Structure formats: structure tokens, C-alpha cells
């Protein structure tokens, strides 16, 4: 969310003097006033003093921020990753049933008829668009844009497509190896109790069919996801909530005010607050990734990291806040922090509804080729 585009009606009147309103108006209309000058005017108090932090408002906001962070860490430790189980007295690792992420989930499209190359092509294009957007914005406005949550999230979206691009390249190679199995594995079947078996018509075919069986085991069996696949899945769900949060706040809260003030949108502002969601929804349409609810914890940690980063920064240096509602000197600070915390649930829930709707429709329309049904 660009600072120049922020609705200054959110700032208490006692802290919004006429010169500031005039400067913001001129900067929005004519872009003649430096954004740094206007931002510095929003420094309402010395954030490095102990009196700024030793207040009841900071205490309540700390509870609002750190309680969800602590709960999220507990949920991640309980549900994420691998767990130790015993089989015949021996310990081994198994994935949690609430996720069941497989290694090929990160690069296989959701339908068998779609070649992995199409998902690779989409991710290459998406990565190039996202990278070009964030780089051009950085060149035009400077590195200080990473002071904002919007740029944090857009950078994470770019990283997601960068990792996804390499995983899809690996997946296309794996797909090529699977296709090399050819007719030799056509007769290899899987039984739930007996495992792999194949009918042996005569003894001289035994070696050929044994090779086919081994090739099938290497090529055609989904393996439990590795660290890179889990990281990709986590970034996907973290992006889902963060993108919805930034775009909904901008288009539902900030943009209506700017329209009233006769503000003219520029291409880069629209691009930053729409392209992230469009690219992520396009990837969601094609991919086979699941969307378990417990990973809202990562979304909460992402926002929590942003807030804590600014608290530490402002405790060391007295500078302007990227968003006025983060200013802890405001009497309404606990209310703002509470509203932002609550908004994480509907923002994540909207994306979860989209993913679940997709899974439901594809399972009904394409029951034979829908890959999420294992």
C-alpha cells in the first residue's frame, strides 16, 4: 500500500494539521512534493523514549500481537512436518495425515490431461512479471518501498514463483522419466495388501518384468514431500492470506476514499494491488497443492514478523510509521491492532473457500483425471 495513497482520515484529527493535509493533497495531484518530507511529518512522538513504550496501549497491543504468534508456533509444532511412529518395534517417520503432501504435488497440474510443461510455462511468465514489477518499482521509488507490507508480500510472491519455476523444471524431467517406462510397466499393478505384482507368463520374461517393476517403483510412485516441497507449500499458503489482506484493505478501505478525493490511480499502484492476486489465483487453478487450515499460522507469523520488525526499528530510531494505524501513541491503537488481527481469519478463509471450491468442482467434473484424489 503506497503511503501517498493512504486515507489520512484514519489519523486522529489532533495529529493531522492543515499543512499536512495540504501537502498530501498536492503530492497526490501534482507529485511535486517529496514523499519523504510528508512521511517525516507523521512522526508524532519520539519512539525511542521509554515513555512511548511504557503505556497501557503498548501492553494491550503486545498481547494482541504475541498471543496469536505463540498459538501459531504451538499449532505448527503440533501439526506440521514429520512425526515419529513405530512399526514392528522400529521407529520411522511419516507425514501427518492432515496434510499428506507428496513430492509431485508441487509440480503436477491438477488434471492428468494437463502436461506439467503448462504449469512450468505459467510459473516462468508469472515470475518474470512479478520480478519486473518489483524491480521497476524499486528503481522508480527507491529501496524504502520495502518499508511497507505490500512490498514484503509482493516480494514473497516473486520468491514463490521463482521456487515454483525450478520445481516445475525438475517435475518436467521427472515426467519425462515416467514416460520412458513405456509398455513394460503397463501390466504392473498395485494391490492394497499385496503391494506391487505383475503376471509372469513364462520364466524367460521374469527379468524383463522385474526390471519393469523396479522402474515403476522409481517412476510412478509418489514419494513423501521433502523439505523444499514443504517450504513451497508453506510459502503458497502464506502468500494466499497476505495477498488477500493487502488487496482487500486497499480496494475496500483505501481506494473508496481516494475516489472521493478525486485521486487518479497510476499503473504501478494498480499493478501492485492486483497482479499479486491474479498470478496466485492462476497458479492455484493449475496446481495440485492442498490448503490445510492449520497453515494460517504461517500467515499470522508473517504479519507478526512485519509488526515486530517495525517495533524494534522504532525503538532504535524515531522515524515515521509506514501506516498510521501502527502508531502506538494513538488512543485507538489497540482497536486497530485488534481489527487487523481478526481480519486474518476472513482473508485466509476467502482463499481457502476458492481452493476448496476448485477441488469440489474438479472432482465432480473430472472424477477420473483429478489428481488430488489419491
Helix residue spans in the chain (DSSP H): 18-29, 35-40, 50-53, 56-79, 116-141, 149-179, 206-219, 227-249, 255-260, 267-272, 275-286, 296-316, 333-365
Distance CA(246)–CA(272), nearest Å, equals 10
Residue 90: the pLDDT is: 45
CA distances from 160 to 1, 147, 180, 231, 244 (A): 20, 20, 30, 9, 16
Which residues have CB under 8 Å from 103's CB, separation 6+? Answer: 222, 223, 224, 225, 226, 229
How many CB atoms are located within 10 Å of the residue 5 CB? Answer: 18
Res 71 pLDDT > 50? yes
Confidence of residue 81 (pLDDT cuts 50, 70, 90): low
208 burial (CB, 10 Å; 0-12 / 13-18 / 19+) is: exposed
Res 161 pLDDT > 90? yes
Distance CA(209)–CA(273), nearest Å, equals 56
Res 82 pLDDT > 60? no
Contact 57, 25 (CB under 8 A): no
Contact 258, 7 (CB under 8 A): yes
pLDDT (tens digit per residue) in 262-301:
566 788 888 888 999 999 999 999 998 989 999 999 999 9
Q: Which residue in 196, 203, 191 sits closest to 219, CA to CA?
A: 196
Q: What is the mean pLDDT of residues 169-173?
A: 92
Contact 232, 164 (CB under 8 A): yes
Res 205 pLDDT > 80? no
Distance CA(325)–CA(252), nearest Å, equals 16
> Among the listed ranges 85-99, 125-139, 153-167, which one has the minimum average pLDDT value?
85-99
Phi, psi of 272 (to 5 degrees): -65, -25
Distance CA(127)–CA(163), nearest Å, equals 9
Contact 167, 107 (CB under 8 A): yes
Residue 79: the pLDDT is: 87
Q: Which residue in 296, 306, 310 sits closest to 343, CA to CA?
A: 296
Contact 250, 323 (CB under 8 A): no
Contact 201, 192 (CB under 8 A): no
How many CB atoms are located within 10 Å of the residue 333 CB? Answer: 20
Confidence of residue 38 (pLDDT cuts 50, 70, 90): very low
Q: Which residue in 79, 70, 120, 126 sits closest to 98, CA to CA?
A: 79
Distance CA(155)–CA(151), nearest Å, equals 6
> Among the listed ranges 137-151, 152-166, 218-232, which one has the minimum average pLDDT value?
218-232
pLDDT (tens digit per residue) in 120-145:
999 999 999 999 999 999 999 888 89
Amino acid at each position: 500500500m503506497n503511503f501517498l495513497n493512504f486515507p489520512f482520515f484514519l489519523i486522529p484529527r489532533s495529529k493531522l494539521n492543515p499543512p499536512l493535509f495540504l501537502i498530501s493533497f498536492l503530492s497526490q495531484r501534482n507529485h511535486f512534493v517529496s514523499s519523504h518530507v510528508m512521511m517525516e511529518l507523521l512522526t508524532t512522538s519520539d519512539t525511542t523514549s521509554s515513555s512511548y513504550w511504557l503505556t497501557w496501549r503498548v501492553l494491550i497491543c503486545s498481547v494482541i500481537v504475541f498471543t496469536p504468534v505463540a498459538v501459531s508456533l504451538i499449532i505448527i509444532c503440533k501439526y506440521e512436518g514429520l512425526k515419529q511412529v513405530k512399526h514392528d518395534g522400529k521407529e520411522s517417520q511419516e507425514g501427518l495425515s492432515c496434510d499428506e503432501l507428496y513430492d509431485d504435488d508441487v509440480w503436477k497440474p491438477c488434471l492428468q490431461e494437463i502436461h506439467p510443461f503448462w504449469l512450468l510455462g505459467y510459473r516462468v511468465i508469472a515470475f518474470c512479471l512479478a520480478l519486473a514489477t518489483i524491480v521497476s518499482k524499486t528503481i522508480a521509488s527507491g529501496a524504502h518501498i520495502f518499508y511497507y507490507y505490500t512490498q514484503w508480500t509482493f516480494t514473497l510472491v516473486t520468491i514463490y514463483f521463482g521456487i515454483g519455476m525450478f520445481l516445475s523444471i525438475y517435475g518436467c524431467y521427472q515426467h519425462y522419466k515416467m514416460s520412458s517406462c513405456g509398455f513394460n510397466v503397463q501390466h504392473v499393478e498395485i494391490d492394497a495388501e499385496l503391494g506391487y505384482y505383475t503376471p509372469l507368463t513364462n520364466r524367460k520374461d521374469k527379468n524383463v518384468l522385474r526390471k519393469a517393476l523396479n522402474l515403476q517403483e522409481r517412476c510412478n510412485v509418489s514419494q513423501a514431500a521433502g523439505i523444499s516441497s514443504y517450504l513451497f507449500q508453506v510459502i503458497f499458503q502464506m502468500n494466499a492470506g497476505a495477498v488477500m489482506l493487502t488487496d482487500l484493505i486497499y480496494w475496500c478501505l483505501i481506494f473508496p476514499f481516494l475516489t472521493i478525493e478525486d485521486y487518479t490511480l497510476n499503473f504501478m499502484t494498480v499493478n501492485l494491488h492486483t497482479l499479486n492476486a491474479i498470478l496466485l489465483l492462476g497458479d492455484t487453478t493449475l496446481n495440485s497443492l492442498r490448503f490445510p487450515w492449520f497453515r494460517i499460522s504461517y500467515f499470522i507469523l508473517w504479519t507478526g514478523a512485519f509488526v515486530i520488525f517495525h517495533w524494534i526499528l522504532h525503538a532504535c530510531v524515531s522515524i515515521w510509521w509506514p501506516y498510521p494505524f501502527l502508531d502506538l501513541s494513538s488512543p485507538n491503537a489497540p482497536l486497530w491492532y485488534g481489527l487487523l488481527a481478526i481480519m486474518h481469519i476472513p482473508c485466509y478463509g476467502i482463499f481457502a473457500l476458492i481452493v476448496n471450491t476448485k477441488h469440489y468442482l474438479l472432482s465432480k467434473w473430472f472424477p477420473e483425471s483429478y489428481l488430488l484424489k489419491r
